[in-house]
Chains A and B, each alone.
Chain A
Amino acid sequence: MKKIRNVMLIMGIMIVTLTACGQPKKERYEASFLELFDTVTKVVAYSESKEEFSSKMDLIYAELEVYHQLYDIYHDYEGISNIKTINDQAGISPVKVEQKIIDLLYYAKDMYELTDGELNIAFGSVLRLWHEERTAGIDNPEDAKLPDPETLKEKALHCDINQMIIDEENSTVYLSDPDMRLDVGAIAKGYATEMISRYMIEIGLENSMISVGGNVRTMGMKVDDSMTQQPWSVGIQNPDTSSENQTLYILNLSNQSLVTSGVYERYYTVNGKQYHHIIDKDTLMPANYYESVSIICENSGLADVLSTSIFNMPYEQGAALIEQLEGTEALWILSDGTQKKSDGFDALIKQ
């Protein structure tokens, strides 16, 4: 009898183990989209089935597409007034827009204050010149040239964010300077990522992660094969893309964002020299303090703004800004390759 009980006990253990596998255990899935924000969006999440995951990805895609169209400065969409529409109507008339645009523009104004004018979405006329030359230079490398310095200076006179008039009651935005243009490239992706991350939690993806073109937002924890929870592992790209090591550091992140701005992201070559896409508002040329700047904080919109703004600031100024913001860490890779870290950065590194 005792022997039978022993065997039953072992069988009992086996059944428990088997049902643990057979239960609707959540599996890890990944998806990527190519069409939005002119970049690659990746999502990692846990679902009970591939079908469930796919249907949630459809929801996320649709939601992100709304932001993509509203915040687009280069394309028109039928029946939609977006930021390009506001630009096209500069000096002509106010444009009625959706609340999602007004919210972004208010956030951008706050960020203008926070960064002492470094993050300025009214800088569009200058950035457009660079964008046009860069696009032409990539298509025809032999004819690549820099924007004309005089034209840059002339355009820089039309970058006053106070000329952006938001009428909240009538939901309209008006650029009173006809030569001014909005460019939300340093904020829109991060802001939209933050909004989508909240939506992902709403639809039940508490443990998940999204990256919109390298703007990484983590939610909750990662669940490994043994069902234990641990922080997500997010790497910081090595700005030396020819190095054997793809990442400089791997960080443990949970409910945090990591955004990196680097010289290797978008650039073109003129007379053998590379010119990247982050333009200093004072010199009107690509900023040359750093190879890359990475920011870690909860809000992906703030991380996006800070990574670009601090890329354009001397180290002391950027470090002072990071210091005053609670829960915000930074890594600077200087042009000569030396690294600077904020006080709490090392504690995030995965051992």
Chain B
Amino acid sequence: MKKNDITLIAIIVVIVMIFFVFYAFQKETGSTLVVTVDGEFYQEYSLHENQTITIEDEDGHKNVFEIKDGVATMIEASCPDKLCISQRPISFNHETIVCLPNKVVLTVENAKTSEVDMISQ
């Protein structure tokens, strides 16, 4: 191999590496929390801005969730069973918190993939 060939290979390797680093970085910082109510898109929030969000409709259905350090948690709900509050905080891609009575779903998007595909509960 000539010197130029080695240079060319080195350049290609560097380009590929930059691409991967950029891709991984983008995956990290682009993660969002998508909220749907009754199956309809409601709002999308960055998982990297700490905030507390309240959703309330005219019938008095209310859910309050918190985003802190890339993790989302349901902290208050008007539903009778409160199962959504006892659900674990979510941060991995496609993880969800569901409030079944109020039909509110929080889903993480564009985040790191969890080691687990599904949980039997």
Chains A and B belong together in one complex: yes
Which residues of A line the B interface, CB within 8 A?
A: 3, 6-7, 10, 14, 30, 32, 34, 38-40, 42, 44, 138-139, 209, 211, 214-216, 222, 232-237, 241, 246-247, 250, 258-260, 262, 264-265, 294
Shortest CB–CB separation between residue B101 and chain A, in angstroms? 10
Q: Pull 11 A–B residue pairs with CB atoms less than 8 Å apart, ordered by A.
A: A6-B1, A6-B2, A34-B39, A34-B105, A40-B96, A138-B81, A211-B119, A233-B115, A246-B119, A258-B120, A265-B121
Please classify the interface of chain A as helix (H, G, I), strand (E, B), loop, or mixed, using the class held by over half of its residues: strand
Cβ of B88 within 8 Å of any chain A Cβ, yes or no, is: yes
A290 to chain B, nearest CB (A): 15
Q: Known pairs A139-B80, A233-B115; list 18 more (Cβ under 8 Å).
A: A7-B5, A10-B9, A32-B98, A34-B39, A34-B98, A40-B98, A42-B118, A209-B118, A216-B120, A222-B117, A232-B117, A236-B120, A237-B121, A241-B88, A247-B116, A262-B121, A265-B121, A294-B120
Q: Residues of A contacting B4 with CB < 8 Å? A: 3
Number of B interface residues, CB 8 Å? Answer: 26
B17 at the interface (CB under 8 A from A): no
Instruction: Tell me which of B5, B39, B119 contacts A3 (CB under 8 A).
Output: B5
Interface members, chain B 60-119 (any A CB < 8 Å): 80-81, 86, 88, 94, 96, 98, 100, 103, 105, 107, 115-119
* Contact between B86 and A30, CB atoms less than 8 A apart: no
Question: Is B55 close to A, CB under 8 A?
Answer: no
Residue of B nearest to A13 (CB): B12
